[in-house]
Amino acid sequence: MSVIQPVAPDAVRWIVRTLEEGGYETWGVGGAIRDAVLGRRSGDWDLATRARPSQVRRLFKRTVPIGVEHGTIGVLARDGTLFEVTTFRKDVDTDGRHAVVEFADTIGEDLSRRDFTINAIAWHPLREELFDPFDGAGDLERHVLRTVGAARDRFHEDYLRILRAIRFAGRFELDMEEDTWSALGALVDRLPALSAERIRDELLKVLGADPRPGRALSMYRTSGALHVLFPEVEALAETSAGVGSWSHTLGVIDRLPAGRPHLRLAALLRPLQADAVAAVLMRLRLSNANVDDVARLAVLEPLPAPDAAEEDVRRWLSRHGVTSLHAAARMDLAAARHEDRGAPSRCASVVAGWRRAKAVCRARPPLRVAELAIDGRDLIRLGLRPGPRFGDVFEELLDWVLEEPARNDPEVLAARALELHESLPPSGRGPVE
């Protein structure tokens, strides 16, 4: 087959030349080589070398000890770009979660320990030579994902490879070779042995980098991985067609922009109940800030229609917050594009509703209790006793102001607060002592 030759940056050629002049065989490996063979723009270049970490550090003035114990040193090019240089390695022991490795002497040994043939391709930037002992380039041409060696052995070495297989097959539109798919399905029940962080990171890579993650997410389900890892979402996958169904959810996610994994995760969880959303997010061990962000987006209601009453728009903004407006518009527009296959009228309606909501925002109506023209000190000055009832009074005041923003006047609100206080049970009021 005719293989597109990777084009190594000058900095990569400089690093390789320096190592080879020092007597250490060095190759380009990893995603940059695979992507180049696919005809895609090469990503970050990683290098594999016979040099040990200490030898790499002696050859270059500026290095970063990224993972010395695993043989990886970061080499800073003249322009400050960091390139990872890793000593050839081979596995000596694995337990499905971690591998014990030792340094090797040849690129062949290094490639033989890799997961899939498409990731076991090396390129020599100086000799412009492709080293492909497992025919990974051929598999890419045939649109096949296949493990290096026996599939069951590869997955037993590291169960994360199950999720990596799904991610690669989805992203590059590959069909899994029969033995690879069979072994993967037989071992999905081992996935809980992985750390939550590794599971989370694989899912976010699918949602963040894949232009259309629906294919990979479908394989999560058909392989059984979805049932094992996210039973709450598996329950969604069993629903019938229509809004909120599995097929609808995947269609929406596919139409959301890449590079926004948390937005896509929110869309995946949006059909679930709030408690199920919280359970999934906690199990993924996202940061507290990310949990709050995704949970907020997952409960977003559709934007009000462009002809909705302004009060309805204000109440939507009050419930969900102005900062949620853009994300809601993106999800609604993605849904419109999926449901009506991009019908101009439906998409135009979503855009019009978004613009109307933005116009309401520009009028700066009070949307939160903190934006009311009076606060707790004002209620005390009115002679009301501080306590839990203050919260009830302010919530009623906000509801009243959302109906008509002109009511957000200190005197008008003070009078209304007294009326509300009088309507509370006797235990909720009394003079300040």
Quick one: pLDDT at residue 430?
42
Answer whether residue 153 is part of any domain. Answer: no
Q: How confident is the model at residue 1 (pLDDT cuts 50, 70, 90)?
A: low
* Residue 96 clears pLDDT 90, i.e. is over it: no
Overall average pLDDT of the 175-200 stretch: 97
Answer whether residue 193 is part of any domain. Answer: no
Residue 96: left if φ>0, alpha if ψ -120 to 50, beta else—which one? left
The number of distinct structural domains making up the chain is 2
Answer whether residue 235 is part of any domain. Answer: no
* Residue 341 clears pLDDT 90, i.e. is over it: no
Strand spans (E) along 77-149 = 82-87, 89-94, 99-103, 122-124, 129-131, 144-145
Model-level pTM? Answer: 0.89
Summarised one tens digit per residue, pLDDT across range 24-38 is 999 999 999 999 999
| Mean pLDDT computed over every residue of the chain | 92
Quick one: pLDDT at residue 368?
97
Q: How confident is the model at residue 428 (pLDDT cuts 50, 70, 90)?
A: very low
In this structure, the dihedral spanned by the alpha carbons of residues 408, 409, 412 and 413, taken in order and rounded to 10 degrees, is: 60
C-alpha–C-alpha distance, residues 127 and 5, integer Å = 11
Contact 46, 83 (CB under 8 A): yes
* Residue 120 clears pLDDT 90, i.e. is over it: yes
- Domain-ending residue, one of 142, 171, 186: 142
Alpha helices of 60-195 — where are they, by DSSP H? 107-112, 136-142, 151-157, 160-171, 178-187
CATH label of the domain that carries residue 125: 3.30.460.10
Kindly state the helix (H) or strand (E) to which residue 176 belongs, with its residue range.
strand 175-176
CA distance to 24, 147, 201, 359, per residue, from 123 (Å): 15, 20, 28, 55
**Residue among 262, 270, 275 at smallest CA distance from 244:** 270
Q: How confident is the model at residue 167 (pLDDT cuts 50, 70, 90)?
A: very high
* Residue 410 clears pLDDT 50, i.e. is over it: yes
Helices and strands in the chain, H and E counts? 22, 11
Q: How confident is the model at residue 3 (pLDDT cuts 50, 70, 90)?
A: low
C-alpha–C-alpha distance, residues 254 and 237, integer Å = 16
Answer whether residue 332 is part of any domain. Answer: no
Q: How confident is the model at residue 339 (pLDDT cuts 50, 70, 90)?
A: confident
C-alpha–C-alpha distance, residues 168 and 171, integer Å = 5
C-alpha–C-alpha distance, residues 363 and 368, integer Å = 14
- Domain-ending residue, one of 114, 142, 170: 142
Overall average pLDDT of the 402-420 stretch: 96
**Which pair of tokens denotes residue 306?**
């462009």
* Residue 429 clears pLDDT 50, i.e. is over it: no
Overall average pLDDT of the 407-413 stretch: 97
Kindly tell me the burial class for residue 115, based on how many C-beta atoms sit within 10 Å of its own C-beta (0-12, 13-18, 19 or more). buried
- Domain-ending residue, one of 142, 160, 192: 142
Contact 417, 397 (CB under 8 A): yes
Contact 236, 247 (CB under 8 A): no
The alpha carbon of residue 312 and the mean position of all alpha carbons in its chain are separated, in whole angstroms, by: 32
Any idea which of 218-222, 373-377, 418-422 has the lowest mean pLDDT? 418-422
Could you give the percent of the chain with pLDDT greater than 90?
82
Answer whether residue 223 is part of any domain. Answer: no
C-alpha–C-alpha distance, residues 104 and 87, integer Å = 8
Overall average pLDDT of the 199-225 stretch: 97
Quick one: pLDDT at residue 385?
83
Overall average pLDDT of the 391-410 stretch: 96
Q: How confident is the model at residue 98 (pLDDT cuts 50, 70, 90)?
A: low
DSSP 28: E
Sign of the dihedral defined by the CA atoms of residues 66, 169, 333, 242, in that order: negative
Quick one: pLDDT at residue 6?
84
**Residue among 1, 189, 55 at smallest CA distance from 63:** 55
**Which pair of tokens denotes residue 227?**
């049932």
Summarised one tens digit per residue, pLDDT across range 171-180 is 999 999 999 9
Summarised one tens digit per residue, pLDDT across range 139-153 is 999 999 999 999 999
Answer whether residue 279 is part of any domain. Answer: no
State the residue range of the domain holding 109.
Answer: 10-142
Strand spans (E) along 30-68 = 46-49, 63-67
Answer whether residue 395 is part of any domain. Answer: yes
CA distance to 10, 43, 46, 73, 150, per residue, from 18 (Å): 12, 22, 15, 15, 37
Overall average pLDDT of the 418-423 stretch: 86
**Residue among 205, 201, 195 at smallest CA distance from 98:** 195
Contact 284, 203 (CB under 8 A): yes
**Which pair of tokens denotes residue 16?**
């390789």
Quick one: pLDDT at residue 342?
58
Quick one: pLDDT at residue 97?
63
Quick one: pLDDT at residue 431?
38
CA distance to 72, 327, 355, 393, per residue, from 263 (Å): 33, 7, 20, 35
Q: How many Cβ atoms from other residues are within 10 Å of residue 74's Cβ?
A: 16
Exposure string for 186-225, b = 16+ CB within 10 A, e = fewer: ebbeebeebeeeebbebbbbbbbebebbbbbbbbbbebbb
* Residue 221 clears pLDDT 90, i.e. is over it: yes
Answer whether residue 58 is part of any domain. Answer: yes
Rounded to 5°, angle at Cα 19 from 117 and 130: 30
